[in-house]
Amino acid sequence: MKEFKFESFEKSLPRRKFLLSTGMFAAGAVLSACTLTEEPIRLADADSAAEVPAWPWNYKKLDPEVARKKGYDGYFSNGGCMGGAIVGTLGYLQEEAGAPFTSIPIEMFKYGAGGAVGWGTLCGALNGAGAFLNLLSKDYSKIYNELIGWYCGFPFPSDKHESYCKFPGQITTVSNSPLCHNSVTIWCTEAGVRFDSQEKYDRCAKLTGDVAAKAIELLNAEIEGKFIAAYKPTEEHAACMSCHTGPKSPIGNVQGKMDCLDCHDDHTK
């Protein structure tokens, strides 16, 4: 089995301050020029640029199960969870519908891997799915809110990747959070494997496919007029928010929908 490595995480580690002399600055400039140049690309004139359709772009209905497999594969081919979710949604739409979707490079969504180059914030699969939903619907907010709420309570990974995955039969955990840090750490602790193991990469690839599939399920429900916002915050969260937010709360200082008691003690008890 070929070992998968995470380039983007490794590159984000602090590097030594080696650009200290003029000569070394020049060397740095040459290195940089390989990936970043100052000249703008101009491949289209003003007329063709005007052909870019107004947002939101129209949606061609996709198959959640195809998206699930593409999201899994995309995790390994496009820089992790955010890039994988984009392969399973926008990339899939590019294959099915061509332009204008092909004008958005799928590689620009690698940055969300590991909750933003490994910082552990928003799960990258959710981040990629958000961009996809937002591209296609003015009502992205209600659909995306539902997707995030579903994610918090779902036992990842699903068992729908058994026929092609590298590690079938993995244990499942519920993160109770949209944060990569919680999702990965809870699963790794329960599974007894490292965060940079092949087992964990396979688990997150499956999760990526699962999120891509669910985003498409919700979007399909929306165009069929069947979308229902089922997610509700927990009673504990609602109790905290009765003081900390809401139009009539006395404090109203908190922004967020994550479960408060994951990080805070309940100071009312």
Query: In the set 99, 155, 159, 236, which binds a second copy (CB under 8 A)?
Result: 99
Q: How far is the CB of 206 from a second copy (least distance, A)?
A: 16
Cα separation, 77 vs 211, whole angstroms: 17
Phi-psi region of 60 (alpha: psi -120 to 50; beta: other; left: phi over 0): beta
Query: In the set 122, 174, 239, 243, which binds a second copy (CB under 8 A)?
Result: 122
Q: Does 40 engage in binding with a second copy (CB under 8 A)?
A: yes
Q: Does 2 engage in binding with a second copy (CB under 8 A)?
A: no
Q: Does 23 engage in binding with a second copy (CB under 8 A)?
A: no
Q: Does 64 engage in binding with a second copy (CB under 8 A)?
A: no
Q: Does 178 engage in binding with a second copy (CB under 8 A)?
A: yes
Which range, of 68-76, 155-163, 167-175, 229-237, touches a second copy by CB under 8 A?
229-237
Number of residues that bind a second copy (CB under 8 A): 121
Contact positions with a second copy (CB under 8 A) in 186-215? 188-189, 194-196
Q: Does 248 engage in binding with a second copy (CB under 8 A)?
A: no
Query: Are 182 and 175 contacting, i.e. CB atoms less than 8 angstroms apart?
Result: yes
Q: Does 150 engage in binding with a second copy (CB under 8 A)?
A: no
Query: In the set 95, 107, 159, 162, which binds a second copy (CB under 8 A)?
Result: 107
Which range, of 65-73, 135-143, 161-169, 207-215, touches a second copy by CB under 8 A?
135-143
Which range, of 42-50, 63-71, 166-174, 206-214, touches a second copy by CB under 8 A?
42-50
Amino acid in position 37: T
Q: Does 174 engage in binding with a second copy (CB under 8 A)?
A: no
Cα separation, 138 vs 151, whole angstroms: 22
Q: Does 60 engage in binding with a second copy (CB under 8 A)?
A: yes
Which range, of 29-37, 153-161, 164-172, 209-217, touches a second copy by CB under 8 A?
29-37
Identify whether 233 is preceded by a cis peptide bond (ω within 30 of 0). no
Question: Residue 6's closest CA among 56, 80, 65?
Answer: 80
Query: In the set 160, 199, 227, 239, which binds a second copy (CB under 8 A)?
Result: 227
